[in-house]
Structure 1
Amino acid sequence: MASRGAIQSILTEPDSTVALAPAVPALLPVARPSLPRFEALAPYLRRIDEGRWYSNFGPLLNAFEARLADRFGHGAQVVTVVNATQALTLTLLALDLPRGALCMVPSYTFVATAHAVVAAGLTPWFVDVDPADWMLSPGAARDLLAAAPGEVRAVVPVAAFGAAPDIAGWKALREETGIEVVIDAAAAFDTACDCALPTIVSLHATKALGVGEGGFLATNDVGLAERVRRLTTFGFHGERLALVPATNAKLSEYAAAVGLAALDDWPTTRLRYLRASQFMRMALSQTKIGFQPGWGADWITSVCVVRLPAGARAAEVEARLEADSVQTRRWWGEGCHANPAFRSHPHADLTATEALAASVLGLPFAVDLDAHEASRIALALERALDAGRG
């Protein structure tokens, strides 16, 4: 294995394409989103101008949904929604579960998951995750049912930071128990390709494929897709009659234009994320941090979230990195259960969640992150860890 000095030399050797860092480094942001540029959008924007169709399921949105459905295979139905939180809320509502019923949710997730459960009229029951992959497993969920504080009618597994959940295992649990399973794959555009279970994907600007604000449901259940569609458009279904209480959560033609341009470039975008991931893996190879299994190799996502070495505290390392102009983010904080909005809801033992919250940190990452930036992050992280040991 190469020494830290050798890696630093390789990554910091100047070349003709990357300028040397300034003497006083500028802030390196934790996220640097990138959406399609005007040149890629222009053909789609011209189609909007020419057709003068701006919303309400126009030709671009229909084309965008069809291309998204192609990623999931034969029989897939895609319903776009104004954002993934609404997509999850409306999908849970469309399942017509008893109001107040328990919905099992990992506490280690972004608060949007819990907000959606509550907005759908369900009661979140926060449970723990596997410390190895940071996700709730079907086996653990099955074991937890016996200790539930009431009847569990739904579970929302979360694809942690974009990792692929065990779809086959979750499908088996649904078949065995009758409990509805909805996958929160907000950050998992790259790995979401099976819609045997209702799957929600985010199209936020910070995601690997984004439109600014947006999200979608992918499912092979035609009836569910129709019910969710109805809920996004005032309860209408083929005529201007509100058949059910609903909302307005449609995606516009402009958002679809961005999505189509992003899909056009997706193969290249994915390769660029892989390249940036390898820069980070090489630069951080001597720091004893832990990556999620498969990150940057088997799958890509738009963030770099790492587990710090034993004994290192995320809050302390975060402060030292910020002082070194390297911005960080503890994306999921202390877990949903620790937020005032959800403290009254029941929870199981959360030992792994609390350990992850204290040791996991998001580092600067972007589709165009280069080797020099990766080296700067690694060196700053090494200094921060050394200061903690001192």
Structure 2
Amino acid sequence: MSRFRILLRQIWTIARRDFVATVFTPTFLIFLLAPVVMGSFGAIGGLGANAASKGAEAKTRIMAIVDPARSADVAAIDQRLRRLYRQSEEAPPMLETVAPAADPAAQARALFDDTRVDVVAVLYGPLTTPHLLYTPTSLRSADYLALLAEDVVRADRSGIAPLSTPTRTVIPRTAPSLRGASASAFFAVFGLFFLTLLLAGQVVSGVAEERGNKVIEVLAAAVPLESVFFGKLLGTFGVAVLFLLFWGTLISQASMLMPPNFAAGLAGLTPALGLPVFTALFFAYFTMAYMLLGAVFLGVGAQAASVREIQLLSLPITLIQVAMFGLGAVAVSKPDSWLSTFAAIFPLSSPYYMAGRAAQSDSLGIHLLALLWQALWVAIFIAVGVRAFRRGVLQSGSGTFRWKRRRAAHNAVDTTVS
């Protein structure tokens, strides 16, 4: 059996061992259902915030002090203007009209002191020259009242009935839109960030735990450390793929239960390369992002000797992931800048940016180069982690790479022979 086949067999053995040790445990179910717990907390918080927001919105008002004979015209124009706002858009607060008192200016100021409702803007005076009062954060509501007064005056001169009857025709797009491509790019960057944040951290705890109980030293005595590190990385990646398959299957089957607005929003995500190619590239860049971060975390976690040290390492690890997400998100918004070039070259941010680029550009050649570049850095990170572990933990000499040790041994033999 060749040395390469022996190396592959060793890597496969370590990967299978870690995969089985992780998956065939009761705690794996907790890990698999972690998004349910996270989603539940998010849903509870979102429902609470939504209820509080809607409760405040229900009591928010904009007021118009107009003659009772004009209140019907003002209400009709208000209803016409509100047709421009969709449910997903923030419409102005509810309008109420009140009859003017002896002093409309004082009446308008007194409305802000009403404890039953939250008045944010008031219009009073002639509609041709209205006066507007508003709170510091309600300029938009004041602008709406000004537009309302303008349209009422225009309706007086031309009539309230519409002067034109439009014919609307929906034109489906045959090519991806710039907006859809940009949304797909951000979705890709955020998706990689979320998945690596959720899945890549398990590499640290696994290697640190085995270092603490001396298992990794036993493995290092049986097979080369390079095989141990790469095998453990592949084993945890297999767990991540199983996680993706489980949730991907559930989400694909639950797509029919999605609200129409949500389904329409997903349909607006139109990557430039097409959905099948983009999906394949997204998985490829997820693989590289996981391998790169996993290789770094593997080397860092191998230096931790206790759970306390792992907890101390979790903060900088999370900060690295957030920084890479921020760099990738900004870079995809500026595709022709020096920042995008840096994000494509820097190994830890390269998968994030290139996944976003796959949604914005239909060029395929650059993705092959990017994947090869990232695979090279995976090997470099593993080699550096092995050297640091051999030198700092096993304390087996200087930790030089194997080819350097072979060259030194060869030189020693030549010197002896001569």
**Length-normalised TM-score, structure 2:** 0.23
Structure whose residues are more often strand by fraction: 1
Please identify the structure whose Cα radius of gyration is greater: 2
Between the two structures, name the one with larger relative contact order (CA 8 Å, sep ≥ 6). Answer: 1
Structure whose residues are more often helix by fraction: 2
**Length-normalised TM-score, structure 1:** 0.24
